[in-house]
Amino acid sequence: MVTGRKSPLNPRVLIVGNYCHDVLIRDGDVLAETLGGAASFISNVFDGLSIRCNLISKVGQDFKYQAKVSHGAIVVPSSETTMFHAYFDLGLGGNGREDRVLKRVSACEPITPMDLPDTRFDFGMAVGVGGEILPETLERMLEICRVVFVDIQALIRVFGRDDGAVNLVNLKESGFYPLLPRIGVLKASTEEAVFVDVEEIRKWCCVVVTNGKEGCKVYWSDGELQIAPFLANQRDPTGAGDSFLGGFVAGLVQGLSVPDAALLGNFLGSLTVEQIGLPKFDLRILQRVRDEVQRRKMQCSSYCYERSDGELKFSKPLGHEQFHASLGTAKLPYLQTVQECRCDLPRSPNSVEQSLPNQYTGHPKLLPTPFHEEPVRTIDNEP
């Protein structure tokens, strides 16, 4: 049974992390330049599900998307906007990771405690991508937010002095370690989890480890749950973890149980990888998701994640598998034939497109209509 309190009626949510410019590169060609940063992927999920959120993000005067984002950023005249180059063809990255190789080529100013609102929130998300969240910033978030969710990429990334190559350090070596017992949930990808002692951290907080097309696993002090994935035809892994976290917290904000909220995270992550850059979710799918969540809420007592008695025990609530099936069919009515996209960006050099199950395949291959807006500028790599 979930032990916890009901989610407040109109929970206040705070997202903290910088927007960035993403440049996606393969075979030396720039495939796309898009709006990036966990703050953009997560607020994109919240906006899509019509859930209000507050966002603190800093950019430079060179920020290209101020007119496009629905949550304005703090413009720092003396700073550049954080920019990442993501390479999808360099094989093993310097840090031994098999997926894309990231380089932070410019970095905006950090977000300080003074940048945060002087008010209280029910949920906080510390989701830096370029080192912008300082230990004192996270500490301030813990003071003003009842439950704080942290993406570990905000804590353990280090950046090459010369080329900005992104590498990871052990969580214990970061300045954030003393704060861990006070956070609510720590999210890490499988590759990032190598830099964390999950067995130790799970004693302090809930740990969610995502694993691409395999879904995710939720750990707490004396138990764990594997949460099923959703099939997708991966075209670009960028932002999958961010959208997962956005969907997960959005589910909890709406009163879903932790396992059901993790399903919602998996679903949003699966939608995200089917598009290049920041996804533009099909409005009809979003409406179906909103309907399914409301239906699910009626079925289950609504709980949010809450540290109660220092322990969190939960099992898959009755109907969890049906909720998975209902979300999975949310895509079905809107499948259309699409040409294979030559600029698909594999998660790792040797990854292949996911083979979709029977109900999706058949010729021509049925895939969700790519509703994403064309990235700001692409180099036409058509012959």
Ligand X SMILES: O=P([O-])([O-])O[C@@H]1[C@@H](O)[C@H](O)[C@@H](O)[C@H](O)[C@@H]1O
Ligand Y SMILES: Nc1ncnc2c1ncn2[C@@H]1O[C@H](COP(=O)(O)OP(=O)(O)O)[C@@H](O)[C@H]1O
Q: Does 275 bind ligand Y (CB under 6 A)?
A: no
- Number of separate helices (H) and strands (E) present in the chain: 8, 18
Stretch that binds ligand X, among 33-41, 175-183, 291-299, 375-383 (CB under 6 A): 33-41
Is residue 242 among the annotated active site residues?
yes
Q: Where are the beta strands (DSSP E) in the chain?
A: 13-16, 20-26, 29-36, 54-56, 58-60, 74-76, 82-87, 101-106, 121-126, 145-151, 157-159, 166-168, 185-189, 206-210, 216-220, 223-227, 335-337, 366-368
Identify the residue among 273, 286, 293, 343 touching ligand Y (CB under 6 A): 273
Size of the site for ligand X (CB under 6 A): 15
**Which of ligand X, ligand Y, none has residue 210 at its interface (CB below 5 to 8 Å by kind)?**
ligand Y
Q: For ligand X, which is the closer residue by CB, 129 or 293?
A: 129
Residue 269 backbone dihedrals phi, psi, to 5 degrees: -65, -40
Q: Does 37 bind ligand X (CB under 6 A)?
A: yes
Q: How many residues does the chain have?
A: 383
| β partners of residue 210 | 189, 216
Catalytic residue among 242, 309, 344, 380: 242
- CA pair distance 248, 206, nearest whole angstrom: 13
Size of the site for ligand Y (CB under 6 A): 20
Site for ligand Y in 200-239 (CB under 6 A): 210-213, 215-216, 229-230, 232, 234, 237
Q: Does 22 bind ligand X (CB under 6 A)?
A: yes
Q: For ligand Y, which is the closer residue by CB, 18 or 270?
A: 270
Terminal-residue alpha carbon distance, the chain = 58
With residue 262 as reference, give the H or E element that holds it.
Answer: helix 258-272
Q: What is the DSSP string of 107-128?
A: -PPPBPGGGS-SS-EEEEEE--
Minimum CB–partner distance for residue 86 and ligand X (Å): 6
**Which of ligand X, ligand Y, none has residue 84 at its interface (CB below 5 to 8 Å by kind)?**
ligand X
Minimum CB–partner distance for residue 36 and ligand Y (Å): 12
Total Cβ atoms within 10 A of residue 94: 13
By beta carbon distance, the residue nearest ligand X is 36
Q: Tell the residue number behind the tokens 């699409």, with chain if given.
A: 338
| One character per residue 216-255, x = contact with ligand X (rule: CB under 6 A) | ----------------------xxxxx-------------
Minimum CB–partner distance for residue 54 and ligand X (Å): 19
> Which residues belong to the active site?
242
* Binding-site ranges for ligand X (CB under 6 A): 20, 22, 36-38, 41, 84, 102, 129, 153, 238-242
